[in-house]
Structure 1
């Protein structure tokens, strides 16, 4: 009797295994991170096309929509995304319409993530809330950078998920300093800026929280050469993932 029961159970297991589709045994795949990317040029030349192309080709877990129009930052559109990547916001006279500003704030309050890149911190200087949102602000007459040159980017927190698999690297870029920054920024990577005989580590990659959102500020990305190195693109992808609470 026991043998018959065993055979019946064994036969049932075989039927289930061969008749059920493979999806019945696999975990459902997470939806891609829906990311709205505003701006393809850090200054006056297109710098991000190759970065965007690589993210689209190599990171199936990130779905990008690219725009140049800040009107797309109103909440009725922004609510469709998980993360906002801001490379350049072509604001008039350093400010944005109230509906756009409230859209960004409502997006962050709802838990949407943010990745702010390079010179976007100078795009909306007249919007005083932008330092809380981006984590940094370029202040005319105070903030500056060295001439474009080669320098090393070092780790301040090698345990952070954004830099998983990333080693210190050398880049050609602008090294920003004297930015107005939130005091609670968590610095992940730095670069040494030489002033008056001293080497001062300046934040190149940092995170903070604004409302309910995870926010990243990545200070690098001046031109095509700056954004071509593999480490840069890996950090961009992993910043998006972290901002979306995926790592």
Structure 2
């Protein structure tokens, strides 16, 4: 009898502790990260580094794929779709499913290569989900990123400005698209600024565009890691 009471008290205490501290397993965000293509080491910086950044502390569970044919099967069990690829997604059913995912109010993080104008045969991707895109970038080198919107959850605990070596993307918003809310900008040596971090004003989905991410200089930077974790949390409505 005493043993039964002790077990009951233990379970009650455990339940209270989980209620007060949060159950990491229950809170994990399911992220599908898509990589692959050219000009970047996707396995090193996305599959390894970014996945570890997101899984730290139990924030998320990450499934990484560089095979677009697997996207369709994973989407029903995904909270946030992180596109970091510049290889084609040619399957029409997969394209339709990605738009349906957004229309269902889910979250998307469009990282570095995914905000490029990659696919001439899929203009609706850039028009609807990126609200524009990049067709060029500065030569790889140092530049400064400045946070424009310090009150947005994605910029929480991010320095007001920071410098890194990366490709400064010439992202330009499509004036006919849904529009963007700029959270941070990158400025080149000539003083010209381009959005480095932005929210796409999709009518239903939560979409973050994140222009940084060429190699170690960004993926291992604490400001980058903070933005990435914040972006996934916000996109997942956590």
Larger radius of gyration: 1
Q: Distance in 2 between matches of 1:184 and 1:177?
A: 16
Paired residues for 1:154-233 under 5 Å: 154-167=146-159, 168-177=161-170, 179-181=172-174, 182=177, 184-195=179-190, 199-233=191-225
Number of corresponding residues: 221
- Distance verdict in 2 for CA 1:165–1:42, change over 3 Å: farther
Q: Distance in 2 between matches of 1:177 and 1:18?
A: 60
Q: Distance in 2 between matches of 1:244 and 1:84?
A: 10
Greater share of helix residues, 1 or 2? Answer: 2
Structure 2: unaligned runs, 5 residues or longer = 1-5
Structure 1: unaligned runs, 5 residues or longer = 1-14
Q: Distance in 1 between matches of 2:147 and 2:154?
A: 11
Q: Distance in 2 between matches of 1:114 and 1:87?
A: 11
What's the CA shift for 1:42?
7.0
Q: Is this contact kept in 2: 1:43–1:119, CA < 8 A?
A: no
RMSD: 2.5
Q: TM-score if structure 2 supplies the norm length?
A: 0.83
What's the CA shift for 1:176?
1.4
Q: Determine if the alignment matches structure 1 residue 21 to structure 2 residue 16.
A: no
What is the SS of the residue equivalent to 1:129?
helix
What's 1:10 paired with? none
Candidates 15, 30, 54, aligned match of 1:34 = 30
Q: TM-score if structure 1 supplies the norm length?
A: 0.80
Q: Distance in 2 between matches of 1:236 and 1:125?
A: 28
Q: Distance in 2 between matches of 1:100 and 1:191?
A: 33
Q: Distance in 1 between matches of 2:33 and 2:125?
A: 17
